Copies of this chain bind each other. A is one copy, B any other.
Amino acid sequence: MSRRTTTRYAVLGMLTHGPMTGYRLREEIRASVGHFWQESFGQLYPTLRDLEQEGLVARVGGGADRGEPVELTPAGREALRAWLAQEARSLSPERHELLLQLFFGRHADPGVIAAHLDRHRERLLQARERYRQIEQFVRAETSPDQPYWLATVRHGVLLVEAGLAWNAETAARLAEETT
């Protein structure tokens, strides 16, 4: 059953970087778009099988040997183009558990909300560090993909920085409350 899930296009997209095995595909996804897109094997392999049946990807050697990489077919490249032209459905149901805790924060024991904010800040700082490193790396890149890659990294940087600003502002406001 092929369900026109976005996994299909994540796969087709990654294959523009060259032929890969399913295993390698997941590594590449993790290493490049991993910050905003993940795939599990349980999702990848069935998708790969479907894509092959539909003729959007093909085994490189022609045979179906184990460990044989797959490559994009012209039809696959076309399918990718078609998806790129479609509006992204915001599939993410937008569930932010920390914000939910904050919303009901008045009923928490003293200090626990401040602790949550602290931990959240730590994670954001680490994320900012990661993004900054990736940004440096991408800026040095000469690939024609570079401006597109940079765009996704910059999204990470800017959103994390906004998160930090919010974190500081919120921690200050709630600290003021308890005085």
Contacts and interface: CB of A to CB of B under 8 A. Distances in A.
A89 B95 CA distance: 11
Interface in A127-152: 144-145, 147-152
A36 B169 CA distance: 19
Q: Is the interface of A mostly helix, strand, loop or mixed?
A: helix
Contacts of A170: 151, 154-155
A96 B37 contact: yes
Interface residues of A, number: 66
Contacts of A93: 38
A147 B83 CA distance: 43
A37 B84 contact: no
Nearest to A145: B106
